[in-house]
C-alpha cells in the first residue's frame, strides 16, 4: 500500500464533527455565569511581589519593636508602682497598726 | 465585540470581561471539541472534557502570556493534558467505539453492503489512529480534521515545520504498516469501492 493511499483514506474518514448547538449554547451560558461570579484580582507582577514582601517584613518589624517597647513600658510601670507601694509601706510602718 | 482579534479579546478577558472570553469561546469551541472527540472516540466524554478545557482556560486567562504563539496552541495544550489524564484514568476500561455521528457523513443511498464495509473500515482506521502515540494522533487530527498547515501545527505542537513533516511521514508509514497488518482482505475490498 502506498503512502498516498493512507492519506486518501485519512481524507475520506477524518471529518470535522460539529458539537451539538444546544451544548455550545449551554456551555457558553455556564461560562458567562461563572465569569460574572468571579472576582478577578489583579495579579501583581514579580517586582510588585518583591515590594510587597519588603513592606510586609518592614511593617512586621515595626510592629514587633512597638510590641516589645510596650511590654517593657508595662513592666517598668509595674515595677515603679511596686516600688512606690513598698516605700509607702516602709515610711508609715505603724500608722495603720491599732496595737502600736 | 465579535470583530475583536484574539490579542484584543485576550487582554479584555484577562481583565475579567466575560463577553471577550465569549468571543474566544465561540471562535475555538468547534476546533477543541473536534480534537477531543477524535482523541476520546465518543461525544459524551468530548463534551465533558471540552467544558473542562474552557473552564480551565477561563480560570487561568489572567496569567496567559503571549509568547507569539496562537491562542489556540494554549487551548490545545490544555486539551492535550486533559485527554492524557482521561486516557490514564480510563486505561483499564474497554475502548468505546466512535459514535454514530461520523456515520452521518455517508449518505444513506449507498448499497447496504458498501455502507457496512465503509463503516467497518472507518472504525478500523480510527481504532488504529487511537493506538498511535498522543503526538501523532494530534498531528493527524490537526492536519485532516482541522486542515492546518505544517507551520500552524508546528506552533501548536512546539516543533519546527521540518520536524512536523518528518513526524507526519513516520506517522503515515506506521499507519500503512498497521493497516496492512490488520485485515488486509477488507482493505482490498474497500479499495475497489472508494
Q: Assess if residue A75 is contained within a domain.
A: yes
Q: Do B49 and B79 belong together in one domain? A: yes
Q: Do B153 and B128 belong together in one domain? A: yes
Is the pLDDT assigned to residue B88 strictly greater than 70?
Answer: yes
- State the DSSP string of B39-66: HHSSHHHHHHHHHHHHHHHHHHGGG---
A24 CB neighbours in chain B (<8 A) are 26, 29
Q: Which residue has the higher pLDDT, B162 or B112?
A: B162
Q: Assess if residue B10 is contained within a domain.
A: yes
Is the pLDDT assigned to residue B13 strictly greater than 60?
Answer: yes
Q: Do B110 and B180 belong together in one domain? A: yes
Q: Do B113 and B176 belong together in one domain? A: yes
User: Domain with B160 in it: what CATH number?
Assistant: 1.10.10.10
Residue at a domain's end among B41, B62, B89: B89
Q: What is the CA radius of gyration of chain A?
A: 40
pTM over 0.95: no
> Cβ(B2)–Cβ(B23) under 8 Å?
yes
Q: In a mutagenesis test of the B interface, which of A11, A35, A43 is the best target, namely the one with the most B β-carbons within 10 Å?
A: A35
Structural domain that includes position A70: 61-88
Is the pLDDT assigned to residue B118 strictly greater than 90?
Answer: no
Q: Assess if residue A74 is contained within a domain.
A: yes
Number of domains chain B contains: 2
Model pLDDT for residues A21-52, shown as the tens digit of each residue: 999 999 998 888 876 544 444 445 667 788 88
Q: Do B67 and B117 belong together in one domain? A: no
User: Which residues are CB-contacts of B140 (< 8 A; sequence separation ≥ 6)?
Assistant: A10, A14, B129, B132, B171
Q: Which of B47, B125, B176 sits opposite A13 (nearest CB)?
A: B125
Q: In a mutagenesis test of the B interface, which of A15, A21, A37 is the best target, namely the one with the most B β-carbons within 10 Å?
A: A15
The nearest alpha carbon in chain B to A8 belongs to B194
CB pairs under 8 A between A and B: 97
User: Domain with B63 in it: what CATH number?
Assistant: 1.10.1740.10
Q: Do B137 and B184 belong together in one domain? A: yes
CA–CA min distance A67, chain B (Å): 39
Q: Do B131 and B169 belong together in one domain? A: yes
Number of domains chain A contains: 1
Q: How far does Cα B18 stand from its chain's mean position?
A: 26
Model pLDDT for residues B142-188, shown as the tens digit of each residue: 999 999 999 999 999 989 999 999 999 999 999 998 888 875 554 45
Q: In a mutagenesis test of the A interface, which of B20, B45, B144, B179 is the best target, namely the one with the most A β-carbons within 10 Å?
A: B144
B169 CB neighbours in chain A (<8 A) are 3
pLDDT confidence band for B31 (50 / 70 / 90): very high
Nearest to B157 by CA among B73, B71, B33: B73
Structural domain that includes position B178: 105-193
Grid cell 494554549 is found at: B74
Residue at a domain's end among B54, B89, B124: B89
Distance (Å, whole) CA B63 – CA A99: 86
Amino acid at each position: 500500500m502506498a503512502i498516498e493511499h493512507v492519506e486518501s483514506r485519512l481524507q475520506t474518514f477524518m471529518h470535522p464533527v460539529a458539537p451539538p448547538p444546544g451544548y455550545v449554547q449551554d456551555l457558553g451560558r455556564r461560562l458567562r455565569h461563572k465569569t460574572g461570579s468571579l472576582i478577578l484580582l489583579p495579579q501583581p507582577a514579580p517586582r510588585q511581589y518583591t515590594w510587597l514582601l519588603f513592606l510586609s517584613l518592614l511593617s512586621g518589624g515595626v510592629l514587633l519593636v512597638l510590641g516589645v517597647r510596650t511590654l517593657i513600658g508595662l513592666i517598668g510601670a509595674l515595677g515603679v508602682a511596686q516600688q512606690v507601694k513598698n516605700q509607702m509601706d516602709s515610711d508609715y510602718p505603724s500608722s495603720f497598726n491599732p496595737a502600736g | 465585540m465579535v470583530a475583536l482579534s484574539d490579542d484584543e479579546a485576550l487582554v479584555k478577558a484577562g481583565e475579567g470581561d466575560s463577553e471577550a472570553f465569549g468571543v474566544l469561546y465561540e471562535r475555538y469551541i468547534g476546533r477543541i471539541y473536534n480534537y477531543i472527540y477524535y482523541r476520546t472516540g465518543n461525544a459524551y466524554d468530548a463534551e465533558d472534557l471540552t467544558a473542562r478545557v474552557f473552564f480551565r482556560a477561563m480560570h487561568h486567562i489572567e496569567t496567559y502570556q503571549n509568547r507569539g504563539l496562537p491562542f489556540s496552541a494554549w487551548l490545545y495544550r490544555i486539551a492535550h493534558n486533559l485527554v492524557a489524564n482521561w486516557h490514564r484514568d480510563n486505561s483499564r476500561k474497554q475502548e468505546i467505539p466512535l459514535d454514530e455521528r461520523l456515520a452521518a457523513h455517508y449518505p444513506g443511498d449507498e448499497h447496504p453492503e458498501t455502507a457496512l464495509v465503509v463503516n467497518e473500515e472507518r472504525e478500523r482506521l480510527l481504532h488504529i489512529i487511537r493506538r498511535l502515540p498522543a503526538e501523532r494522533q494530534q498531528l493527524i487530527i490537526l492536519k485532516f480534521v482541522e486542515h492546518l498547515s505544517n507551520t500552524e501545527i508546528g506552533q501548536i505542537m512546539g516543533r519546527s515545520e521540518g520536524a512536523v513533516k518528518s513526524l507526519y511521514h513516520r506517522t503515515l508509514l506506521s499507519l500503512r504498516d498497521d493497516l496492512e497488518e490488520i485485515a488486509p482482505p477488507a482493505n482490498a475490498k474497500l479499495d475497489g469501492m472508494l
